[in-house]
């Protein structure tokens, strides 16, 4: 019985064994290994003339025997993730390592989360299956590292812009607030209660999704480690503890330095 981490076990299963499922068609190997074919599918999402099998792995041209039963168990466990649904918790804050004195990062996170909730595809078990399969094939999880996008004052005609909140009524007589130009063109002065606003210099949607995917991947690994523990014939899964916020350690290291 060989003890392995859940990450190493999945990589072994998906890159060395599950390529035997649906493979072999009388052809000879033509330069590219099963591993590189599978890796290209994970990276590019497609491969001409070769489709992934039921486990999301490109079958090999030359197959030597059946896949190891432990690898099949891994593949079925990953496929089982498709039955899981999840929600992003209210107040989810994946950037404690970044300054946010103007609330710009938090606002962008809320915007992206709202978008994800509306679309729904990233909240399905199918996304978990694709996420875990891709990480196993590539040998690493989502890249959550990123630099703070920076912020700047909102400008208009080369000058810092002024804004003011106003109230109005809709067609049903309901009062609502809206943001208007806070600069009085006649007096050439800001209006009463006017304020200035800041914005992020760079978009951070991709980074928000990467940190979401990292946490989903870690949670999925925890589920898989628990499901597979004690059910394999030749492998034992080492104890696994989800590392959901590795970026928090980076912040501590910076503060301590």
Same structural domain for residues 257 and 182? no
Same structural domain for residues 48 and 139? yes
Same structural domain for residues 192 and 207? no
pLDDT the model gives residue 51:
81
Same structural domain for residues 56 and 74? yes
Which band of pLDDT confidence, cut at 50, 70 and 90, is reported for residue 63?
low
Please check the confidence at residue 183 and state whether its pLDDT lies above 90: no
Read off the pTM: 0.78
pLDDT the model gives residue 222:
97
pLDDT the model gives residue 59:
84
Same structural domain for residues 114 and 235? yes
Of residues 62 and 70, more confidently modeled = 70
pLDDT the model gives residue 35:
42
Which band of pLDDT confidence, cut at 50, 70 and 90, is reported for residue 29?
very low
Render pLDDT for 185-221 as a digit per residue (tens, 0 to 9): 888 899 999 889 999 999 899 999 999 999 999 999 9
d(CA 4, CA 28): 33
d(CA 123, CA 86): 6
Same structural domain for residues 74 and 32? yes
Mean pLDDT of 36-62: 63
Mean pLDDT value across the chain: 86
Please state, in angstroms and as integers, the Cα–Cα distance from residue 205 to each residue in 45, 94, 151, 164, 251, following that order.
Answer: 21, 12, 15, 28, 21
Q: Which residues pair with 180 in a beta bridge?
A: 164
Which band of pLDDT confidence, cut at 50, 70 and 90, is reported for residue 235?
very high
Mean pLDDT of 51-73: 84
Q: Which pairs from 104-113 meet CB under 8 Å and 24+ separation? A: 104/151, 104/198, 104/199, 104/200, 105/149, 105/200, 105/204, 108/200, 108/204, 108/205, 108/208, 109/208, 112/205, 112/208, 112/209, 113/88, 113/208
Same structural domain for residues 161 and 94? no
Domain hosting 238: range is 1-147+203-257
Side-chain-facing half-sphere of 89: CA atoms under 13 Å: 6
- For the chain, the domain total comes to 2
- Pick from 82, 87, 78: which is nearest to 126 by CA? 82
Please state, in angstroms and as integers, the Cα–Cα distance from residue 191 to each residue in 37, 165, 180, following that order.
Answer: 63, 10, 10
Which band of pLDDT confidence, cut at 50, 70 and 90, is reported for residue 239?
very high
By CB atoms closer than 10 A (0-12, 13-18, 19+), residue 176 is exposed
Please check the confidence at residue 60 and state whether its pLDDT lies above 80: no
Same structural domain for residues 169 and 79? no
Which band of pLDDT confidence, cut at 50, 70 and 90, is reported for residue 52?
confident
pLDDT the model gives residue 204:
94
d(CA 136, CA 74): 11
Same structural domain for residues 57 and 135? yes
Cβ proximity of 204 and 211 under 8 Å: no
Which band of pLDDT confidence, cut at 50, 70 and 90, is reported for residue 23?
low
Same structural domain for residues 112 and 33? yes
Same structural domain for residues 106 and 18? yes
- Work out the number of other CB atoms within 10 angstroms of the CB of residue 186: 5
Cβ proximity of 143 and 206 under 8 Å: no
CA angle 72–77–78, rounded 5-degree value: 100
Same structural domain for residues 139 and 123? yes
């Amino acid at each position: 019985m060989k003890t392995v981490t859940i990450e190493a076990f999945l990589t072994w299963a998906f890159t060395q064994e599950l390529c035997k499922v649906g493979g072999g068609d009388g052809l000879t190997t033509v330069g590219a290994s099963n591993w590189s074919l599978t890796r290209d599918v994970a990276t590019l999402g497609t491969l001409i003339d070769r489709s992934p099998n039921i486990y999301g792995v490109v079958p090999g041209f030359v197959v030597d025997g059946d896949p190891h039963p432990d690898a099949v168990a891994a593949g079925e466990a990953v496929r089982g993730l498709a039955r899981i649904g999840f929600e992003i918790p209210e107040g989810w804050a994946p950037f404690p390592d970044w300054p946010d004195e103007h609330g710009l990062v938090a606002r962008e996170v809320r915007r992206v989360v709202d978008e994800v909730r509306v679309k729904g595809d990233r909240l399905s078990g199918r996304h978990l299956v694709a996420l875990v399969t891709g990480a196993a094939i590539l040998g690493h999880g989502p890249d959550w590292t990123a630099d703070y996008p920076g912020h700047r004052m909102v400008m208009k005609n080369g000058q810092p812009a002024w804004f003011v909140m106003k109230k109005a009524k809709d067609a049903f007589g309901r009062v609502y607030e809206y943001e208007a130009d806070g600069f009085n063109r006649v007096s050439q002065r800001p209006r009463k209660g006017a304020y200035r606003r800041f914005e992020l210099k760079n978009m951070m949607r991709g980074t928000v999704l990467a940190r979401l995917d990292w946490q989903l991947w870690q949670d999925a690994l925890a589920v898989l480690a628990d499901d597979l523990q004690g059910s394999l014939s030749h492998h034992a899964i080492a104890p696994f503890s989800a590392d959901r916020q590795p970026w928090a350690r980076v912040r501590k290291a910076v503060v301590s330095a």
